[in-house]
Structure 1
Amino acid sequence: MPTNTKRWVLASRPEGKPKLENFRLEDVTLPDPGEHEILIRTEFHSVDPGMRGRLSGDSYTAALPVGETIDSAMVGIVEASNNEKFRIGDRVTGGFGWVSHALSNGRGVQILSPEIYHGRLRPSAAIGVLGIPGLTSYFGLLDLGKPKESDTVLISSAAGPVGATVGQIARMKGCKVVGIAGSKAKCDYLRGLGFDATINYHEAGDMRATMKNVCPEGVDVYFDNVGGAMLDAAILNMKEHGRIVVSGQVSEYNRGPDELVGIRNVTRFITHRLRMEGLVVFDYFKGFRDAQAAMAAWIHSGQLQYTEDISEGIEGSAAAFVGLFEGENLGRRLIKVS
């Protein structure tokens, strides 16, 4: 019989920080699964700051049309199946957005293996530390940052799911790791993960001077999740042949085209032979399984920890997303739908 479901859609394009009125929760009736189709009940869906750009216009993918379901990753349970590849009760992951249920022909849907997802590694990690945030950390640091033993690695928004994972992997590589975060609680959390030092940017004042004080010999790798003035301060603290990995620009996401800060200290790229490169993690798709296997082993051995910030109920999805831009979350922000 048809399934009553809920979904969040884009009601209007945000100007500046997103607001609740930019989103609308709708009731939808899904038909019974057709030939080769499956019905998935969502357990968790993510809320992602990187989605902000698509709400206003084209990003690394096309702008989300007004009235369309908000994109995100999800973990769910197969409740009905006409597809021989999936059985009722299979736990799966896919990109169906802020929905309580989804119909799919199975394309892009992955079954989560109980052999991997057990103990320390919860199924929700498939859309966190083993999903896009964790993979961004892994490939961004190892492929672009190329950390070497004794390097100093500086990370902005370090208490988020990307930054916290970058810092722990850098520690495994023998680096000195410094995390920038926005509260004492977040800085304490980072030290608990093994970070060597932290900077609370709300208390730091002159970020250029603070970075120099904490990293007196300079920075070898800056993993940038913030952009803007913080990136400019980091550029002035880079060592010769330093590498800047651009993962996100959260300080710029809510600015209009004429308000973007950008970077000013370009001369430093010449004098210090710096390299700065951004990444879209999907470019590394062929390496996802190997990276996930490596990180899963680190989690099971206790070398890599992850934190999830979970809100109950799909009704709170929009508020959870808006809260990302107020610095509310600690770790990967998820919605527990069922």
Structure 2
Amino acid sequence: MPVTNRRWVLASRPDGKPSLDNFRLEDQELRDPGEHEVLVKGLYISVDPGMRSRLSGDSYAQALGIGETIEGAMIGTVKASNNERFKTGDLVMGGFGWQEYALSNGRGLAKLDASIFQPPLTVTAAIGVLGIPGLTAYFGLLDMAKPKEGETVLISSAAGPVGATAGQIARMKGCTVVGIAGSRDKCDYVTKELGFDRCFNYEEEKDLVAAIKQACPKGVDIYFDNVGGEMLDAAITNTNERARLIISGAVAEYNRPEPRGIRNTTRLITHRLRMEGLVVFDYFKQFPQAQAEMAGWIKSGKLKYTEDISEGIETTPEAFLGLFEGENHGRRLIKLG
């Protein structure tokens, strides 16, 4: 029988920081699955700061259209299936966005082995530490930055899902890890629970260049950037020769009418710096191998993660907007009813 699906769509394009008026909750009747199709009932969906740019225009992918479902990942169960690859009750994952149900022809739909998700590994890890955030940290650090023992790794948004994972992997590689976060509680979390060597609260610092210099007295060999803007510029000023700057996100830039950009570009020449942007989908074929290794780290206690879960699809836009205020502590998800 057809089901009523609630979904959040783009109502209007944000001008600067998004507001609740840019989103609209709609009821939509979904037909029964057709040939080779499955109906998925969502359990959890994600809110992701990186999709902010697609609300306004083209980015790493085409701009989201007015009236289209807001992008995000979903974990769900198969409610009905006409696809030989999936049966009713299967636990699955796909990029179905901010909605309670989804119809799929099976493309991009991944079956999850429920037996894997035993404590301390939760099923939500599939769209968190073992999903795009964790994989971004894994490939950005190990494949692009290639850390060496004894190097100093500086990470912005250190308590977020990408930064927290990157920092722990850097520690496994024998690096000194310094975090930048937006509160003392978040700094305490990454140092006391995740093993970062140091962390400072940028909200308490008037001079970011001086703060980074004090936290990284030997200079910065790798900067894993999730923020951009002034923080990226301050990190560049503190780099050693042949430092690597991995640009994973730019949350400080997403809501600006005009990006601030970077200004200390001459250091890229004088210090032979390498700065490279990261889109994790370039590594898609390597995801299973990375996920298996990371799951092993979690089960052995080498890799920890935190999730920030809100209840009900109604809370989704507020949870998304809170990302730009630094409200979240860990991966922000929505538990559907």
SS in 1 for 2:44: strand
SS in 1 for 2:286: helix
Q: Within 2, Cα distance between the matches of 1:167 and 1:248?
A: 15
Tell me how far 1:36 sits from its aligned partner: 1.3
Partner of 1:272: 271
Q: Deviations over 1:49-77 (max 9, x none)?
A: 00100000000100000110001110001
Matched residue count: 336
Q: Deviations over 1:4-48 (max 9, x none)?
A: 110000000001111000000001111111111111110000000
Partner of 2:45: 45
SS in 2 for 1:72: coil
Partner of 1:299: 298
Tell me how far 1:120 sits from its aligned partner: 1.2
The amino acid that maps onto 2:181 is: A
Q: Within 2, Cα distance between the matches of 1:183 and 1:205?
A: 14
Q: Deviations over 1:266-321 (max 9, x none)?
A: 11111111110011111111111111011010011110011110000001111111
Q: Deviations over 1:104-128 (max 9, x none)?
A: 1111111111242222111111111
Q: Within 1, Cα distance between the matches of 2:242 and 2:214?
A: 20
1:73-84 to 2 correspondences below 5 Å? 73-84=73-84
Partner of 1:332: 331
SS in 2 for 1:18: coil
Partner of 2:89: 89
SS in 2 for 1:84: coil
Partner of 1:199: 200
Q: Within 2, Cα distance between the matches of 1:328 and 1:212?
A: 27
Normalising to structure 2: TM-score of the pair?
Answer: 0.99
Tell me how far 1:83 sits from its aligned partner: 1.2
Partner of 2:176: 176
Q: Deviations over 1:150-191 (max 9, x none)?
A: 110000011110000000000000000000000011111111
Q: Within 1, Cα distance between the matches of 2:233 and 2:32?
A: 54
The amino acid that maps onto 2:172 is: M
Q: Within 2, Cα distance between the matches of 1:337 and 1:196?
A: 37
Partner of 2:65: 65
1:299-318 to 2 correspondences below 5 Å? 299-318=298-317
Partner of 1:102: 102
Partner of 1:186: 186
Partner of 2:215: 214
The amino acid that maps onto 2:279 is: V
SS in 1 for 2:41: strand
Q: What is the identity percentage for the equivalent residue pairs of Structure 1 and Structure 2?
A: 68
Q: Within 2, Cα distance between the matches of 1:310 and 1:119?
A: 17
The amino acid that maps onto 2:114 is: P
Q: Within 2, Cα distance between the matches of 1:214 and 1:318?
A: 36
The alignment yields a C-alpha RMSD, in angstroms, of 0.7
Partner of 1:255: 256
Partner of 2:145: 145
Q: Within 1, Cα distance between the matches of 2:41 and 2:227?
A: 34
